[in-house]
Amino acid sequence: MRSLGAAVPLLLPLLLPLLLRPRAACCFSVPGQEATCEANGSLYYVGEWYFLDSDHCTQCECTAEGAACARTECTSLPGACIHVSHYPTDCCPRCERIGCEFRGRVYELGEHFQPSECEQCTCDSDGIARCLVADCAPPPCVNPAYQKGKCCPECRDGPNCYADASRTRVIPAGESVWVDSCTKCRCHDGQDAGYWEGNRVATCARVRDCGEEKRAATHRQDSGGEQSSSTPSM
């Protein structure tokens, strides 16, 4: 009978292919031991769960038949999300903040705000800021002024207009004004559509017999002044 040592050289050519045969990359088992799965450079036993390092959205379970994997699908982020973070170990991005971003500032959902004197805005649930802009009517004067905190310009000196097309003289509205010895001018009263459409020049009329009328008016003024001065004081 041959000794065991003598038989080894004869069996080695038969055993060597079996010893050098590559094993499965996923799972393998050794007789008498529990099956394991190999992934991420580690071994996992049957029943263990793990995520793939190459894809954090894929989760696997080690089973006796091999790794059973499923991939998670990310849900859509809310439309009002204005700050998104995606951490290296997370599968899906995270919404860190919800609101509206408008001209460099962030507003909460449902918040009402006034970015300027003429705008009123609301942060809607879809993350969009919607604004209403005031429509100012044309001011009834030729020299309107804006005041801080107010949207529309105001006439500090009251309604007025230009006396003539030269636009060098401004006269108040509501009264007739002599612009020369024979010409009377009057501003529109503000109810005239032409005024609101941008007509800022007075309506003027040349007075007939203006010289006599002017002298009569001057005489009346002088007479009134003399009567006032002659009235004895009490």
The predicted-structure confidence for 117-134, as pLDDT tens digits, reads as follows 999 999 998 889 999 999
Euclidean distance between CA atoms 24 and 146, whole angstroms:
82
State residue 194's pLDDT score.
Answer: 47
CA–chain centroid gap for 175, Å, is 48
The structure tokens 């292919």 sit at 17
State residue 28's pLDDT score.
Answer: 53
Structure tokens at 89: 């170990």
**Average pLDDT value for the chain:** 77
Euclidean distance between CA atoms 16 and 21, whole angstroms:
9
Euclidean distance between CA atoms 60 and 67, whole angstroms:
6
State residue 100's pLDDT score.
Answer: 92
Least confident range of 3-12, 31-40, 171-180 = 3-12
Asked if pLDDT for residue 37 goes beyond 60, the answer is: yes
Least confident range of 150-154, 174-178, 196-200 = 196-200
Least confident range of 9-18, 39-48, 169-178 = 9-18
Question: Rg for the chain (alpha carbons), in Å?
Answer: 48
- Backbone conformation region of residue 191, classed left if phi is above 0, alpha if psi is from -120 to 50, else beta: alpha
State residue 211's pLDDT score.
Answer: 62
What is the value of pTM for the model shown?
A: 0.46
- Residues of the chain with pLDDT > 90, as a percent, come to 26
Among 134, 131, 136, 133, CA closest to 112: 131
Phi first, then psi, for residue 183 (nearest 5°) are -125, 125
State residue 158's pLDDT score.
Answer: 87
Euclidean distance between CA atoms 219 and 211, whole angstroms:
12
Asked if pLDDT for residue 191 goes beyond 50, the answer is: yes
Structural element, H or E, at residue 108: none
The mean pLDDT value for 1-24 works out to 43
Strands (E), the chain: 27-28, 36-39, 42-45, 49-52, 55-63, 66-71, 81-85, 94-98, 100-102, 105-107, 112-116, 119-123, 129-133, 160-162, 170-172, 176-180, 183-186, 203-206
pLDDT tens by residue, 38-89: 998 899 999 999 998 888 899 999 998 889 999 999 998 887 888 899 888 8
Asked if pLDDT for residue 141 goes beyond 80, the answer is: yes
Q: How far apart are the first and last CA of the chain?
A: 166
* C-alpha distances in Å from residue 196, one per residue of 82, 101, 188, 203: 44, 38, 10, 15
Euclidean distance between CA atoms 184 and 200, whole angstroms:
16
State residue 82's pLDDT score.
Answer: 85
Asked if pLDDT for residue 3 goes beyond 80, the answer is: no
pLDDT confidence band for 110 (50 / 70 / 90): very high
